[in-house]
Chain A
Amino acid sequence: MISFFKKDFLVHWRDRKEIIISLISPLVIIAVIGIALPGWVENPTKTLQIKVALVNADDEQAAMQEFRDSLAARSLPDDELLDIEQQLEQLSPIRMLKQVFQAEHVKEIVSMEELGNDDALQQLQEERIAAVVTIPDGFTLAALNKMVWNDGEGTALRIIAEKASLQVGVLNDIIDGYVQKLNVQSAFHHLLGADAGAAAIASDDYSGIGGREMVDGVETVTSFQYYALAISIVFALLLSVTMASKAITEKRERTFQRILLTGSQPFHYLMGKMSAAFCLSILQLSIIILISHFALNIFPGRSLLFWLGVSAVLVLLSLCVGALVVLFTALVFRLHDETANGIAFIFSLIAGTIGGSFVPIYILPDWLRSAGEWTPNGLSLAVLLQWIQTETVADLSVPLVKLAVFAIATIGLASWCFPRRGRI
């Protein structure tokens, strides 16, 4: 098996193109993304900032007066009429909307300015602002009728944007949050009575809209740390595809058949690939992370325990990379070259995406983040991020066992996939 290991190690190591791709590219990408998107991981709202104009086409005073006039026509008892009159002082849908935009966490993202309609549209066209939020005529009256009497369908705010973007999507979500709050108010009003509903909506608690949670006593993950780990991990994953593709040459040039004729077992051939991939992966991950660390001071002042924890995860990840090389190699001998290569590439692409190697896992939906932790790269990244923050040894044990199980199961699957004698 040592002969196979030496052969596979040298064949990959002497492929200058592959070495440049697997060592130089990740370092360049880490530096470029780290510089281009500083603080994205620490403060993701920075990149979501948006300038918005608020156009108020409604006459709130007139709407209030009209609503008061309508009360007279309803022949309500005097005490109930007095209650509603008092609550009307607090029930101002437009003020409530402005309060949403003045909340600290929303202000980090949305910079809002009140403008006239024409001026707002002009600025939108000149791309000085990204969107216009319009309060339509009749908004207050319709909202009050819905909130107090549950009459009609209420009314909607309008968002105008020149083009769809992540930022406009976030703005849309904020407005949705506001509308939901109005709906909650309306529901409270009808279920619990006017006082409870008014109290609920009059509160200034808009923390549910945007913002982030901070936990005391925990280290935060910096962008450079995230990119260094995510990118080195995805390149380790890609190593499995490139190493397995060497088997295509061995199959086409009948080198593998020559190996079989020596009486060698396919198992030794596969284990040679696995051990070479394991060592190359360890080497690649170590070089990228250490160079990133020394060049960009990524993990300053970290303890020996920290580095041991990182090493343990990378060793298990490399074992998984080796196992994937064995699986993809087995597929090369089982299927057509292009099919096998395509499967390996698609697996890496999907695993890389849901494992958080291409975009920060923080912005992925929960279900996708959970799915990502079933991939070796996703699990490794998640556990390393956790390790950076807490350095709790107990947090490492289960993920390490999971990575070992993944590697063993993958080798088992590869052995099952590998064609029997006379079928290659």
Chain B
Amino acid sequence: MLEAMELRKVFKGRTAVDDVSLFLDQGESVGLLGPNGAGKSTTISMISSLLTPNSGDVRLNGVSIVSKPQFIRQVLGVVPQEIALYEELSAYENLKFFGSIYRLKGKQLEAKIQELLEMVGLRDRQKELIKTYSGGMKRRINIAAALLHDPQIVIMDEPTVGIDPQSRNHILETVRLLNREKGTTVLYTSHYMEEVEQLCSRVYIMDHGRIIASGTTEELRRILSGEDTLLLKLDKPNKDLANVLRSLAPIRHVEETDNGLKLIIAKHSSLLSQIVQTAESHQVEIINIHVHTPSLEDVFLHLTGRTLRD
């Protein structure tokens, strides 16, 4: 349905996106993962026809939208990372404005506005100005404004950044509803791994402007099939212990967590007794050990050597 081919974008000599190719099939929910500055927003801008790539092409059902942007604008809804609303207008007035410039009129527009306000749970507060809303409520209206024209494809750029858990759950539910019940194709970008794991069947991982891995969540997890993740809960933090463990050959990565250490080790390596002994020698007590199933977060860590929130 939508295909980006070898996209490249350079800003003042700095390459923001390099050789990015991805595709979305109809009705799919695809995640685009990457830390801040990875190039996700630039990629989205090129896919949505707002930014012209230096090279490469974006095709919608075989038609290049670089030369014919109107093709995608009719069927695309974009939820930007920013709250792209007018603070001095009410939720209703914002939706009415964006609906009218989508050329919706009269009862059709009114019905659509009320349907979307109901969907995002803000029908009762539609007359209040956006500037009086909480961050989560603003984000919900931000999503509603992208759905006024019933788009076939929705691109969501980090729609849950900095909001309360209730609004976050509401947004995730809305995305599920769109994708599973309405058959809307979704491209969801985030640096929250768990959101992407919950919502998306396929994932692209970006770093430094490039796609570094892609596939279904299962396929990506299999990258770590040769590794185990151990979570050690310790009675006190000890930097020396972490350094000593890093020097042990089967341990591939050591990361300090809030209450202990996270170790990525080669599968089937018999390190447990060695770890316990090392901890004792450093006078650190291991309260418990948990063997963790690899997550996308672990995959990202494995691929880039850093966490998504770095």
Q: Please indicate whether A and B come from the same complex rather than being unrelated chains.
A: yes
Chain A residues with CB under 8 Å of chain B are: 3-4, 6-7, 10-11, 14-15, 252-255, 257-264, 421-424
Chain B nearest CB from A421 CB (Å) reads 7
Contacts of B146 on A, CB cut-off 8 Å?
258
Contacts of B81 on A, CB cut-off 8 Å?
254
Contacts of A422 on B, CB cut-off 8 Å?
50-52
CB pair B82–A261 under 8 Å, yes or no, is no
Which 10 pairs of residues, A with B, have the shortest CB-CB distance?
A: A422-B52, A14-B88, A3-B100, A255-B84, A254-B80, A258-B84, A253-B82, A262-B101, A254-B84, A11-B88
CB pair A261–B89 under 8 Å, yes or no, is no
Given contacts A7-B86, A253-B82, whether A259 and B50 have CB atoms under 8 Å apart is no
CB pair A10–B80 under 8 Å, yes or no, is no
CB pair B145–A258 under 8 Å, yes or no, is yes
Given contacts A14-B129, A422-B50, A422-B52, whether A264 and B84 have CB atoms under 8 Å apart is no
Contacts of A255 on B, CB cut-off 8 Å?
84-86
CB pair A260–B50 under 8 Å, yes or no, is yes
Q: How far is the CA of A15 from the CA of B145 in the complex (A)?
A: 22
Across the two chains, which residue of chain B brings its CB closest to A13? B88
CB pair B97–A254 under 8 Å, yes or no, is no
Contacts of A6 on B, CB cut-off 8 Å?
97
Which residue of A4, A10, A260, A264 is within 8 Å of B89 (Cβ)? A10
Q: List 24 contacting pairs A-B, 8 Å CB cutoff, sorted by A.
A: A3-B101, A10-B89, A11-B86, A14-B88, A15-B88, A252-B82, A253-B84, A253-B85, A254-B84, A255-B84, A255-B85, A257-B45, A257-B50, A257-B78, A257-B84, A258-B78, A258-B80, A258-B98, A260-B50, A261-B78, A263-B70, A264-B101, A422-B51, A422-B52
CB pair B88–A263 under 8 Å, yes or no, is no
Across the two chains, which residue of chain B brings its CB closest to A260? B50
CB pair A3–B78 under 8 Å, yes or no, is no
Contacts of B76 on A, CB cut-off 8 Å?
261
- Residue from B86, B98, B101, B146 with most neighbouring chain A CB atoms (10 Å): B101
CB pair A421–B52 under 8 Å, yes or no, is yes
Q: How far is the CA of A421 from the CA of B49 in the complex (A)?
A: 9
CB pair A10–B93 under 8 Å, yes or no, is yes
Q: How far is the CA of A210 from the CA of B100 in the complex (A)?
A: 65
Q: How far is the CA of A255 from the CA of B98 in the complex (A)?
A: 10
CB pair B73–A261 under 8 Å, yes or no, is yes
B169 contacts the other chain (CB 8 A): no
Chain A nearest CB from B128 CB (Å) reads 13
- Residue from B83, B84, B85, B145 with most neighbouring chain A CB atoms (10 Å): B84
CB pair A262–B51 under 8 Å, yes or no, is no
Contacts of B145 on A, CB cut-off 8 Å?
258
Q: How far is the CA of A294 from the CA of B199 in the complex (A)?
A: 65
Across the two chains, which residue of chain B brings its CB closest to A249? B87
B183 contacts the other chain (CB 8 A): no
Contacts of B82 on A, CB cut-off 8 Å?
252-254
B56 contacts the other chain (CB 8 A): no
Chain B nearest CB from A210 CB (Å) reads 54
CB pair A262–B73 under 8 Å, yes or no, is yes
Chain A nearest CB from B76 CB (Å) reads 7
Contacts of B88 on A, CB cut-off 8 Å?
10-11, 14-15
Across the two chains, which residue of chain A brings its CB closest to B52? A422
**Per-position contact with A for B38-54: 1 when CB-CB < 8 Å, else 0?**
00000001001111100
Q: How far is the CA of A263 from the CA of B49 in the complex (A)?
A: 11
B27 contacts the other chain (CB 8 A): no
Chain B nearest CB from A49 CB (Å) reads 50
Chain B nearest CB from A96 CB (Å) reads 70
Beyond the given pairs A257-B45, A262-B101, 4 more chain A to chain B contacts, judged by CB atoms under 8 angstroms and listed by A's residue number, are A3-B97, A7-B89, A253-B83, A258-B78
B15 contacts the other chain (CB 8 A): no
Q: How far is the CA of A260 from the CA of B88 in the complex (A)?
A: 20
Chain B nearest CB from A132 CB (Å) reads 61
Q: How far is the CA of A257 from the CA of B149 in the complex (A)?
A: 16
B259 contacts the other chain (CB 8 A): no
B74-124 contacts to A (CB < 8 Å): 74, 76, 78, 80-86, 88-89, 93, 97-98, 100-102
Q: How far is the CA of A258 from the CA of B142 in the complex (A)?
A: 10
Q: How far is the CA of A261 from the CA of B78 in the complex (A)?
A: 8
Q: How far is the CA of A19 from the CA of B63 in the complex (A)?
A: 48
- Residue from A3, A4, A15 with most neighbouring chain B CB atoms (10 Å): A3
